[in-house]
Amino acid sequence: MRLNYIYNFSYVSNENESYFTYSVYSSTVISRFVMDDGGQIQQQTWSESTKAWFLFWSQPKTPCEVYAYCGAFGSCNTNSQPYCNCPRGFNPKSKGDWDSEVFSGGCARAKNLQCGNSSAVNGKSDRFFPSYIMKLPANPQIVAAGSAQECESTCLTNCSCTAYAFDGGQCSAWSGDLLNMQQAADGTDGKSIYIRLAASEFSSPKNNKGIVLGGVVGSVVIVSLVALVLLIFLKRRKTVKMGKAVEGSLMAFGYRDLQGATKNFSEKLGGGGFGSVFKGVLPDSSVIAVKKLDSISQGEKQFRSEVSTIGTIQHVNLVRLRGFCSEGNKKLLVYDYMPNGSLDSLLFSEKNSKVLDWKTRYSIALGIARGLNYLHEKCRDCIIHCDIKPENILLDAQLCPKVADFGLAKLVGRDFSRVLTTMRGTRGYLAPEWISGVAITAKADVYSYGMMIFEVVSGRRNSEQSEDGKVKFFPSYVASQINQEDGDFLSLLDHRLEGVADLEELTRICKVACWCIQDEETQRPSMGQIVQILEGVVNVNPPPIPRSLRVFDCQENIVFFTESSSSQSSQPQSHTSTASTQSKNTTSNTSPRS
């Protein structure tokens, strides 16, 4: 087997036929192509170390891109587990299938509609319940309506109309089953759809009157208890504030305390393979970020030991762990809140008016390198992050970068290989050695860092699809410019910066990124070397073009590699190998910066 690589790909295209084939270099490697129940085709490799199938490639890349993956009336959300859920007023048509993660049967109404139902109670009519930030279902019918009220009325009078949407002055209506409903990934382009439900799904006016009357009577009792409640709250407030110190400044929180601090986990900041993050406020008014961990199978003693280790790691470029909660299967981590969010929100959002200037971007790249170098070389035991990407780089009020989620790979344990396959956007940053299942070293973080730095420079995802269906892979373009005597480095820069950048810094950081993504991990520099290069105390030599990038350039019209986001952008890099200079040739002799 060739080092770090598994497959030999071949693409044939002539006037008579076009086809794609692959073979496995080693007979000891087990590979398979499967199509799951939802219609997604996957290429998997058996990992002997984890005794599980490792997802190498899939198309469509996420289940939600499979047409009608969740069936009739089912809604798909790439940021949730499971991916499918039923909207209000609907239940899974086959609970057994859904429990087995087979969602194609879709959802069925919990209660029959009144419209067209002769047994319906007189005086009641169907109503509509809104679902927000959605990608609208397929096959809408355009209806003539001048307002949202008129659009609703038109749908209500037509018993076959199951939903409507009014956007941009246009009324869209759907009849029969709703297919291919999706929750918008980031909420920026989401629409509102109003789904028809039976009147009995809503509370009646009579019930409302009873509730109001009961509330008035009950308020008399409540007022008499206000003083007592306030006393109890103030006493409990001190307990939540202080928590229980377990080591140094690390605090142990109760689950109810964090539930109250986050208002029952109502304000979600984001999520990933390790769990979801929610904003909270402690009684002392300090703002926190609470991560609810998924797939934690460790025992109580081991979990507390690992968390205590993470809590002792403090660096200006690492997110500080303030405390944790461990009650049964409820495992939560409490971090400092970062007001400027994650790096991806500032790099890739077209609607974000705040564009990072070059000085800030370079400072961010250097700060991340310093944080990773601390994890790799300054801690008692080397900590490999395993998931470096813009989404895991947080920015404080001064735009100082903070590496988040470090130490969680060890916390999750061997289950991390499964976690990786569910993390949207992660595989674009995975080093080739991940694919082959060999032991992972700190150089896997170096590879991910390099892929991320390309995006810091360009302000866009590394892999983009053009109108003719070809893939533009930004790292390939950077490598080609670096190896030209008259390479145009300013053309690599985010167009929003209008060419305003330090050319020496731009050249230096592009060379570093190319060194980081070398095929062989021994060729990649350490994070300590990267820090020295970016600080200007060490010069960097021109890097060789990774053979994987040359292969990609030759085959960039292959549909197999076509992706619309970064989640697959680096996979072609695991197809070939190269033998070149070792990491010692990354830099030249140490010299002070002029």
SS (H, E, C) 58-115: EECCCHHHCCCCCCCCCEECCCCCCCEECCCCEEECCHHHHHCCCCCCCEEECCCCCC
Average pLDDT for residues 195-206, to the nearest whole number?
78
Alpha-carbon distances of 96 from 66, 99, 101, 109, rounded to whole Å: 21, 5, 9, 17
Range among 70-84, 338-352, 501-515 with highest mean pLDDT value = 501-515
**Which of 42-51, 244-253, 456-465 ranks highest by mean pLDDT?**
456-465
Residue numbers in the known binding site for ATP are: 292
Closest alpha carbon to 527 in 462, 461, 446: 446
Residue 1: per-residue pLDDT: 31
Active site residues: 387
- Determine the pLDDT at residue 47: 73
Q: What is the pLDDT of residues 93-133, one digit of tens each?
A: 999 998 888 888 999 999 888 886 654 445 578 889 998 88
pLDDT at 304 over 60: yes
What is the value of pTM for the model shown?
Answer: 0.56
Do 413 and 298 contact (CB within 8 A), yes or no?
Answer: yes
* Among the ranges given (36-50, 73-87, 182-196, 225-239), the one the predictor scored with the smallest mean pLDDT: 225-239
Residue 26: predicted pLDDT: 73
DSSP structure class, residue 199: G
Please, what are the domains in the chain?
75-201 (no CATH), 243-336 (3.30.200.20), 343-588 (1.10.510.10)
Helices assigned H by DSSP within 110-253: 148-156, 205-242
Is the CA virtual torsion 140, 145, 151, 155 positive or negative?
A: negative
- Reported as a single tens digit per residue, the pLDDT across 61-99 is 778 888 888 999 999 987 777 889 999 999 999 999 988
Kindly tell me the sign of the dihedral angle through the C-alpha atoms of 556, 560, 562, 565: negative
Residue 220 has pLDDT above 80, yes or no: no
| Whole-number Å distance between alpha carbons of 555 and 512 | 25
pLDDT at 375 over 80: yes
Of 478, 494, 475, 489, residue with least CA distance to 566: 475
pLDDT of 571 > 50? The answer is no
> Which 3 state secondary structure label does DSSP give 358?
helix
| Cβ count within 10 A of residue 568 | 22
Residue list for the binding site: 292
pLDDT at 470 over 70: no
